[in-house]
Chain A
Amino acid sequence: MTEMNMVQAINNGLDLALKLDDSVILLGEDIGINGGVFRVTEGLQKKYGEDRVMDTPLVELGIVGMAIGMALTGLKPVPEIQFQDFIYTAMDQIINQAAKMRFRSNGDYTVPMVLRTPYGGGVKGGLYHSQSGEAYFAHTAGLTVVTPSGPYDAKGLLLSAIDYEDPVIFLEPKRLYRSIKEEVKDGEYKVPLRKASVVREGDDLTAITYGSMVPTVKNTFEKHKVNGDIIDLRTLVPMDIGTVIQSVEKTGRVVIIHEAPRTGGFGAEISASITERALESLLAPILRVTGPDSPFPYKMEDYYIPDDRRIMKAVNKLLEFR
């Protein structure tokens, strides 16, 4: 065990993956000699060479398209998109090639690629270095969407994703890159995909969240002694509906927290899935605490990201609802 932040844990996971399997290839902008703009790939090019840790020209659709091509021919590429905000030119490759390959070839061809990219606000990045675009990916059948909320899970989920046989969109909450330290196992271990984690238990209500918002919700619940479950989804698609419903049947009250804008956000999907399965258990309407339906602002980012005050407002409303 070593105490690590998320940057170190992911670096450690990538290092291990590169060491264990020579079909693992990293590619992206500034990931080699510079070690990535967030230093997640620090030292890896030096250790494994330019053939395996590739500094690419500035072309996101090329990075992703090449990675898909590598995956189709037996490699296990782990492309990095420097900021999730810059992924959009590559969406054609992601949506029309990666996500649909298994289906359209009936399994003759598959895309075991792990596309890593930092997302979310909180680093004073303004409109284009703060976006939370998970819903774009969640809406695309064939993609598996994963987001860790701490160092331990980050490494374990990453190693599972690299061994997974379908394309994984691995969203790294950049605000948490260095803000949390945890004991992380040194060797290989896996945290399963498609499994949520109950990070706090209680009887009065269920908070469902993921990625960047998990520590905020945890702190809020601790500070205000909220007696509720907190579910960290970890994999958004396919969602671990069993864990969600089990908790909802216990508490009957649900708040969903994410940083992305509300409209068409993943919270809507969670909410609908619950009402379809557990309407009789609900004692109150399902509430959402989310980013607003506006672009992410530079100066006023603290207003944008859900905070203690807004989460508690929803919690109290839920608890008071009769």
Chain B
Amino acid sequence: MPEQDKSEEKTRLIKAYTAIVLSRTLDNKIVVSQRQGRVGFYTPTIGQEALQVGASMALQDKDLIYGYYRDVPLMLHRGVPMENIINQIMGNREDSALGRQMPSHYCDKKRNFMSVQSPVATNLPLAVGSAYTQKYRKTNSIVLTTFGEGSTSAPDFHAALNLAAVYNLPVIFLCENNGWAISMPVEKQTLAEIWTKASAYGMRGVRANGNDLLETYEVTREAVKRAREGKGPTLIDAVSFRMGPHSTSDDPTKYRDVIVEEGSDKDPVIITEKLLKSKGYIDDKFIESIKTRAEKIVNDKFEECAKIPAADPSSAFTGVYKESSWMLDEEVKDLL
């Protein structure tokens, strides 16, 4: 590799690794805080960092993301300020949705990260519609949408893939295949490999090792390139593992024995460290300093955000329509 490319790659990979470490540190902090009663609920992202950051590396700021409730690593890499994420989780008055949504339901219009819903896969057809806009308006932007492998059973997935293929749209379906949909393992969710489902709709489908940052990056980059060139959609099956519980309300010991320990060889943080070390971009000292710094950033930001008060109660009852309805106005008088 020429020297300049190498230095660019180094910068890129260190940025990616930093996002991964920040995300993991934040994840652990939120999970602990939930147990302490400082946070109501959370869906951990542990195990899915490399795949999300790998995909994010292939995108431009102008591209649109229809993510889901586990996309913190992607958001951090994309430049969503950490405080936006924490404020959302706390539902305080700095949260862009003013605490209306449950934790893990992010939105960041500035970074083209669309508002997250709970009903899984319902974001996929929206991504297709927005991809149509990009094509129609010739913006050269593409749309990426994320979801778990369990969501491929939902009708929205099939409708979205079919439509995207039929209209040959610049959209990428990134399946974050973490092996589990709450208690349902992927082997019982579907008998087909996720990436092969694309062929039923005449669409390109590929698999990536989601724990391999560079592989996910390369696969996504290729999909992005094709989408921008007008060559249509791609389904990416990025295989990783849900190392944590489904959510802070879930107890995975009830239904699975397989575990991947944090810090083990199968942990994407460790895998990414090995990758960067092998390229000579980082060493143990660097790793330690980055982790120490991440701890401090996360703790500081968390405490800062924790001091922010909740929004005014009336905020929960406004913003339903552009022009409020008399019905709601009348009701709110009685409520507050």
Contacts and interface: CB of A to CB of B under 8 A. Distances in A.
Q: Tell me whether A and B are bound partners.
A: yes
Interface of A: 29-30, 32-35, 37, 55, 57-62, 85-86, 88-89, 124-129, 262-263, 290, 292-295, 297-300, 303-304, 310, 313
Given A57-B150, A262-B327, A303-B336, A89 B100 contact: no
B275 interface: no
A160 B23 CA distance: 51
B277 to A, nearest CB: 39
A34 B328 CA distance: 40
Chain A CB within 10 Å — which of B103, B181, B317, B336 has the most?
B317
B100 A303 contact: no
Given A30-B183, A55-B183, A58-B189, A310 B153 contact: no
A290 B99 CA distance: 22
B99 A34 contact: no
Contact of B316 (A34, A60, A129, A299): A299
A117 B13 CA distance: 47
A127 B101 contact: yes
Interface of B: 40-41, 91, 98-103, 105, 117-120, 150-151, 153-156, 181-184, 188-190, 249-250, 254-255, 310-311, 313, 315-317, 320, 325, 327-328, 331-332, 334-336
Contacts of B315: 300
A231 B162 CA distance: 50
A55 B188 contact: yes
Given A34-B183, A298-B101, A58 B311 contact: no
Chain B CB within 10 Å — which of A127, A300, A303 has the most?
A300
Nearest to B247: A37
B100 A33 contact: no
Contacts of B316: 294, 297, 299-300, 303-304
Contacts of B99: 297-300
A33 B119 CA distance: 22
A29 B315 CA distance: 34
Contacts of B190: 57
Nearest to A125: B102
A31 to B, nearest CB: 9
Contacts of A62: 153
A209 to B, nearest CB: 17
Contacts of A37: 182, 249-250
A85 B119 contact: yes
Contacts of A129: 102, 118
B155 A89 contact: yes
A290 B327 CA distance: 12
Contact of A89 (B91, B102, B156, B183): B156
19 contacts: A30-B184, A55-B184, A55-B188, A57-B150, A57-B190, A58-B153, A59-B154, A60-B154, A61-B155, A126-B102, A127-B117, A128-B118, A263-B327, A292-B317, A292-B332, A293-B325, A293-B331, A295-B320, A299-B98
A86 B154 CA distance: 11
Given A33-B255, A57-B184, 13 more contacts: A34-B183, A34-B254, A34-B255, A37-B182, A58-B151, A58-B154, A86-B119, A125-B102, A126-B101, A127-B105, A262-B331, A299-B99, A303-B335
Contact of A124 (B40, B100, B317): B40
A293 B328 CA distance: 5
A263 to B, nearest CB: 6
Contacts of B313: 300, 303
A204 B267 CA distance: 67
A300 B190 CA distance: 39
Contacts of B334: 310, 313
A227 to B, nearest CB: 24
B148 to A, nearest CB: 9
